[in-house]
Amino acid sequence: MKLRRLMAIGMTVALTATMFSGVSVYAENSDPEPFKIGFPWDTANTDPTWISIYNNVKAAVESAGGELVNVVTDNSADGLIDNISELISRDVDGILFMPASDSMLPAVDAMCADAGVYWGTMFRTISDDDIREAMYDSEWFAGGCNEDDETCASNIVKSMADMGVTDLGVINIAKGDTSSDLRDKGAAEGAEEAGVNILNTTYDITVTTDMTKTIESYIAAYPEMNGILVLGTYCGGAIPTIEKALADHGKAGDIKVGRIDFETTLGDYLKEGTFHVSYGGQQQIDPLVSAVILVNKDIGTPIVEDGPTNIITPYLELTTADEADQFNEYFLGDEPVYTSDEIKEKMIKFYNADIDMDYMNDLISTFSIADVVERHSK
């Protein structure tokens, strides 16, 4: 076992003792011992959301004095396994990643257990009951964040129904992707409840030419279509591409457009009245808090003492151009959605022994576009 693991165990024991003594365990320790967190992420991607995810993880790690070690990934299961192997060889103390599937997790856990490295996830729940039970029994799984993708997808379909949508063309990430599958399920539930007909769902669109072809095929095949919903996509510039295809066919504004996951151009189309609703904002708070969970575990002050920490982070609703402009300025700039000082004071248990699940859930419940603007515009 790594020396850091022994030190972390000692810190956990000391923290438990302070709960009963009332004396700070940190009186003689100004900062945790140095540590390294591995993070497979495509830092070559220039999309502002992709960059902001990296910046938020980096801020969480560095707020406790850690170093973020990056390897570029393609986000596939095989690619992530290779990334994790490389990070272990670089002597990291913890690894945070976005799983491509539940089925890859037992292999990750075995690799990390053998190396004495904690690991955590972001943006994903573990849907498979057997795998979830096994991972929650692992001492090396720190936990992570996820969103209620199913409810979110149901709600956005019902929001579009309230706008008059009856026949919906859908785009989603990929079958077998945990979030994608949950969003499919939620959309179907919302559609049934609201009386919306889902005409078709297309998956695995990664380039704009394919997005254009999909929208054009929907227009040709479904003249009754009056709504397009992007449940998720890895295609950069998805909304501008959809808007152009609709405009080219005289459908801009007539066909309502919504998407899960914000992107930078939404404000322009909200002003024009050709885009209508988006749920998102999780792209910043989820990786930040996921990194916080792993950091707390790694430095010996876990948020949950027995087992992994799982926190549900919120989706935010965006329906106005002003909200879109605020999001672009305060969520996609160089600053994380919580500053390093805020993370240190409010999320790192080494510095604040009051932190537990109730504390974190209360803190996250206040997170909104308005909250970030208020804190960071001062």
Rounded Cα–Cα distance for residues 352 and 97 (Å): 26
- Number of Cα atoms under 13 Å in the Cβ half of residue 47: 17
Q: Beta strand pairing status for 94-97 and 36-40?
A: parallel
pLDDT at 150: 94
pLDDT at 377: 87
Rounded Cα–Cα distance for residues 257 and 239 (Å): 9
Q: Which residue stretches of the chain have pLDDT < 50? A: 1, 3, 7-28
Q: Is the dihedral of CA 353, 357, 362, 363 positive or negative?
A: positive
pLDDT at 17: 46
pLDDT at 12: 47
pLDDT at 197: 98
Rounded Cα–Cα distance for residues 168 and 368 (Å): 29
Q: For the whole model, what pTM was predicted?
A: 0.83
pLDDT at 29: 58
pLDDT at 71: 98
pLDDT digits (tens, 9 = 90+) for 32-79: 999 999 999 999 988 899 999 999 999 999 999 999 999 999 999 999
All structural domains of the chain = 3-146+284-314 (3.40.50.2300)
Rounded Cα–Cα distance for residues 210 and 51 (Å): 24
